Structure 1
Amino acid sequence: MPTPDETAYHELLKTLHPPLRAIITALGIARAQEFLFNHGGTFVKLPRADGSKLGLSNEELLALRYQLHDVRLATGLSSHLSDDGCISLPKADKIFLKYRNFEIRAMRGQLTLNQLAVKFDLTSRQVQNVLKGGEAVDQSDLFKMIDSGGI
């Protein structure tokens, strides 16, 4: 029987866009984040055998191709995975905020507000917003906007 955390994790996966769900299922959260940080927002061709050019082991490449093929068959998302193995990869920067917020909410009973803020590199106010159901604003985006003259 799945634990409450496993059940919540699977519920979270259901809310994600199918290609992203396939990537996370194939690689796991940490590797998917790393992979999408390096390749997200681009159109890449998944090789048939050697994943090293994409920073993937052959097992990861096989799992990714398998999961994406299943998504394509189940949802008809041919715009995300073509017959020749090309895929439009989503950007990673905003996608994993949902997972981070899920983790914050799951750890609320175990850590204090300040401990959560330190663990997730947020302010206490941002953690409070997440716990209330809102989104925490990424402060680095704010500083980028200031540096670029956007504010």
Structure 2
Amino acid sequence: MADLHWPPIDEEALQPLPPVLRAMVKALGFGRAIVFLQEYGGIPFTLPKLKDNKMGLMPDELARLRITLKQHLDADNRIALPKADKLLAYVRDQEITKHKDTESIVLQARKYHLTTRHVLNIRGQHRIAEKNASSYKRNLSLTKAEIEALLRLTYQAAATEGGNVYANLVHKLDKVNAQIDSFTGAQFDLF
């Protein structure tokens, strides 16, 4: 099994896909998985035990599918394969997002035979995902007492070490502290 040649796949690109689609793409690659699922997607599929070319699978493709689909097969080596449209929609959505800064909404709607509303929704989903990802990295929730303690520590560090970093932090914390004087016991987000 070590001599199998796996198609080059960006693991990060696979993450949004459902598990069975992810396994199919990992074994066959995006293009080959689309072709295979256009023929066999949406119906129960029995993974042949022997090297079988009647389904259009090469022996190495079949071996890779056995490995990646193993956890999804039932006792009779059957699996309900997803339709190719899921994978095609994923690829289309990635292209829309990739070219959102260089192609207009109307152009993308015509190019992919979608409504402008649908293109906006796809672009919006990408924007929300990016915002959530960056928000998890930046968002810090603190109580008023914690902000005041952090402000005291920052004042001390600014006095002893100086530097623009502490001065900027003191300025931001002072601003937040001034805004929350009327809120007791609440939590606030620092960005």
Which interval holds the TM-score relative to the shorter structure? 0.5 to 0.7
| Structure 2 residues not aligned, in runs of 5+ | 1-7, 127-191
CA distance in 2, matches of 1:109, 1:51: 46
Alignment partner, residue 27 of structure 2:
26
Deviations 1:102-146 (A, max 9, x none): 221012234343443344333444323321229xxxxxxxxxxxx
Q: 5+ unaligned residues in a row in structure 1: which ranges?
A: 1-5, 73-79, 135-151
Q: Which has the higher contact order (CA 8 A, sep 6+)?
A: 1
Partners of 1:26 and 1:63 within 8 A in 2: yes
Q: Indicate the RMSD between aligned Cα atoms, in angstroms.
A: 2.8
Partner of 2:95: 103
Identity %: 39
Tell me how far apart the structure 1 counterparts of residues 115 and 18 of structure 2 sit (CA, whole Å).
Answer: 29
* Distance in 2, Cα, partners of 1:88 & 1:50: 20
- The alignment status of 1:127 with 2:119, answered yes or no, reads yes
Hey, what's the Cα distance between the residues in 2 that align with 1:39 and 1:27?
A: 14
Aligned residues: 119
Ranges of 4+ aligned residues in structure 1 off by more than 6 Å? none
Letter in 2 for 1:31: R
What TM-score does the superposition give when structure 2 sets the normalisation length?
0.51
Is contact 1:12-1:99 (8 Å) kept?
Answer: no
- Counterpart Cα distance in 1 of 2:111 and 2:64: 31
2:65 aligns to what? 64
User: Please, what TM-score do these two structures have when normalized by structure 1?
Assistant: 0.62
Amino acid at match of 2:40: H
